[in-house]
Chains A and B, each alone.
Chain A
Amino acid sequence: MSVVQKNTSEASKWYLPGILVGLGITAKHLVSNLFNKKQMLTINYPEQKYEYSPRFKGNHVLTVKKDGSLRCTACMLCATNCPAECITIVASEHDDPSVEKYPIKYEIDMLRCVFCGFCEEACPVDAVRMGPEWQTPGLAGSNFHYGIDQLAYRPQLKGGMLSVLDDEERHKSGI
């Protein structure tokens, strides 16, 4: 992005006209907001909340399969791709040979995360998504190490978000 500087006139070098113009704009919004509250841009957070676009990259969600278990196969591509190095995964052998590999630990350090969404893009099985939530207050730093419980089964997700990728269907179609 480049900044284009307009030809500055002599008048703009004076301080006061600029102040007055600015105050004028403030006053204009004050008056219009007073009489037309519906169009007011400011909202009363936290009572009121802003509706973000569905593509908003908020806190991560680990999706689940139909039976409620994690979709993640612990391939570690998200961790490899993560520029902030905030994902820690420990993989293990699953009892079910068709699942084979699954994470016993999946931890995201939310304070290190830069919410770039690379993990979501790297995921080959739609196991990690960036969700809509963005309010994550907490007191201690350790609260921000989100584990599987929080990433996949936090109460807001109401039992987990279903992955679009289904192994059974994939097997049926011969992949």
Chain B
Amino acid sequence: MPKCTINGKEIEVKEGTTIIEAMFKNEQKIAHYCWHPGLSVAGVCRLCMVEIEGNPRLQIACNTVVTEGMKINNASDKVKDAAKWGLDFHLINHPLDCPVCDQAGECGLQDQYMEFGKYDPEMAEKKVKKHKVVDLGPTVVLDSERCILCSRCVRFTDEVSKTSELGIFNRGDRSEIGTVDGKSLDNKYSLNTVDICPVGALTSKDFRFRQRVWYLKDQETICNGCSTGCSIKTYFNREGFYRVKPAYNEQVNSYWMCDEGRDLYKFVNRENRYLKARRKTEAGWEEMIPGAGAKEASALVKGQGDSLALVLTGQYTVEEFETAVASFVQETKSKQVYHWQNHAGKENDFDGFLIRGDKNPNTAGLKKVLSKHGIATSWHEFQSAISSGKLKTVIVAGPENQMHYQEIDTLVKTLAKTKVIWMQSAKNASLEALSVGSWILPMKSYVEKDGTFINYAGLERKFKKVTTVVSEALTLAEGVQLVVGQNLMVKPETNAFIETARRQDQVMLEHRKKNEFVFKRGSL
């Protein structure tokens, strides 16, 4: 454990820590671009210069390992000057098109220039012209002029996604990022390059030009795309959600997430949601306020006894499962609760990095709740119960994220003769085919509620509500409680079973950086 002094403050760091890591750990400010904690050290931006006592030359903090007794200083005029000029070198060929650039507002160059900049540009020559709006692949667009050649994206494709599509071509100030020999930047993690790009050189086709970032708020939650459960940050304003970015989580996803997960904000937005409870009549669908709809739907449940079943998908929180199962069992005395798993047989698929075959964020949580209530049913039993006509009414907690639920269609068809109370947040065309008398109850999506997800590895993580999109929608707990005829005020006897002592990361979650974005003016 070497001890060193940074700007007069003595600190102790782990063996092998670089100066820049030591500085960030101790909340010291240092200019940097090319260094990224999740990637190898490139040492090319030359901004993180520090003065080390006994060394006449400035050293880069990202490639210098702290040694015993090292005296590091990055507050001297010499260092400040180096950072100033380093930034100026970055800027001389950087087009000042911040108004058009999507990165403006969250741009590393803007932020660092404000903090460390020279404020006295002396470049009077013409800038180097490079390619603009280069289509790198299905997800990413490149603007070479804005690129400062930090090589983060190249290192990402080399080291993390291991697909090596990107490279730096040409030399000197003519250098440009490009894809290798007709390849396109087409991998399952390609949009991470956009996140780590410190400038607006790489932009996501999906988010490009849709919003200025200063109109967006952000809040952390957990991705519900698969059982990995990456920590994510959602960006939204009152008009809806606009994008998803990964949030750092050492245990799960580090700094990354897959491209598929980034699409999962779409079904949350109002235009894709059920806003009202709907009952199918002979004449068509009739709409109602969700709570009232759920109460009316309870007529289908009353006195059904053994001909009633509850079907759950692993897309709701542990707390919801607990309440739903508890009240269902309590009220109906039936233990016909079934776990509906999509992609049967593929749930243990894994691509080796983040993407898992089980496309439900909380399968483990559901299994735990079911076993806690002593329910050991199989999907096969459900299917035979349906085909034998034993079941008259089925309550289905449908999947929020339907990207991998093509089975909805088949399930609706098998339920053609059964009355169904289908609880679902996002619209699905297959549900139009439900039998007469069936209900669709609008549910809250994962960004609209507090809860806990348990991922494939059994890691329990609590997440907080992000915002409200459909204010009248119900949680699964509320839905099932109302449907089985309980009063919402009735709380289940036991709370969700997770002991607080085990939720270490929850404490971390609470201590995480608060959203410091202050809206001075604008539409929020």
**Quick one: which of B176-227 are within 8 Å of A by CB?**
208-210, 212, 214-215
Which 9 pairs, one residue from A and one from B, show the smallest C-beta to C-beta distance? A174-B126, A75-B99, A97-B133, A91-B209, A124-B99, A76-B212, A73-B100, A97-B132, A101-B100
B56 within 8 A of A: no
A174 to chain B, nearest CB (A): 3
The chain A residue with its CB closest to the CB of B210 is A91
Provide the main secondary structure of the chain B interface: loop
B209 touches A93 (CB 8 A): yes
A80 touches B125 (CB 8 A): no
B523 touches A85 (CB 8 A): yes
Provide the main secondary structure of the chain A interface: loop
A44 to chain B, nearest CB (A): 43
User: 9 A-B residue contacts at CB 8 Å?
Assistant: A73-B100, A75-B99, A80-B215, A91-B210, A92-B209, A98-B132, A100-B132, A174-B127, A175-B95
Interface residues on A, range: 20 to 34
Residue positions of A touching B, CB distance < 8 A: 73-77, 79-81, 83, 85, 91-93, 97-98, 100-101, 124-125, 171, 173-175
B209 touches A83 (CB 8 A): no
A68 to chain B, nearest CB (A): 20
B192 to chain A, nearest CB (A): 22
B521 within 8 A of A: yes
B100 touches A100 (CB 8 A): yes
Give Cα A92 to B211, complex, Å: 10
Interface residues on B, range: 10 to 19
Give Cα A125 to B212, complex, Å: 17
The chain B residue with its CB closest to the CB of A96 is B133
Chain A residues with Cβ below 8 Å from B284 are none
Give Cα A83 to B522, complex, Å: 8
A74 to chain B, nearest CB (A): 7
A83 touches B132 (CB 8 A): no
Which listed residue, B99, B125, B133, B214, touches A174 by the CB 8 Å rule?
B125
B99 touches A83 (CB 8 A): no
**Quick one: which of B55-103 are within 8 Å of A by CB?**
95-96, 99-100
User: 1/0 per position for B124-142, CB-CB distance to A under 8 A?
Assistant: 0111010011000000000
B109 to chain A, nearest CB (A): 17
Q: Can you add 7 more A-B contacts, CB < 8 Å, to A85-B522, A100-B133, A174-B125? A: A74-B209, A80-B214, A80-B521, A85-B523, A92-B209, A124-B99, A175-B127
User: 1/0 per position for B112-151, CB-CB distance to A under 8 A?
Assistant: 0000000000000111010011000000000000000000
Give Cα A69 to B522, complex, Å: 28
Give Cα A101 to B104, complex, Å: 14
Give Cα A166 to B5, complex, Å: 54
Chain B residues with Cβ below 8 Å from A100 are 100, 132-133
Give Cα A89 to B521, complex, Å: 16
A80 touches B209 (CB 8 A): no
B237 to chain A, nearest CB (A): 13
The chain A residue with its CB closest to the CB of B205 is A93
B203 to chain A, nearest CB (A): 10
Chain B residues with Cβ below 8 Å from A85 are 521-523
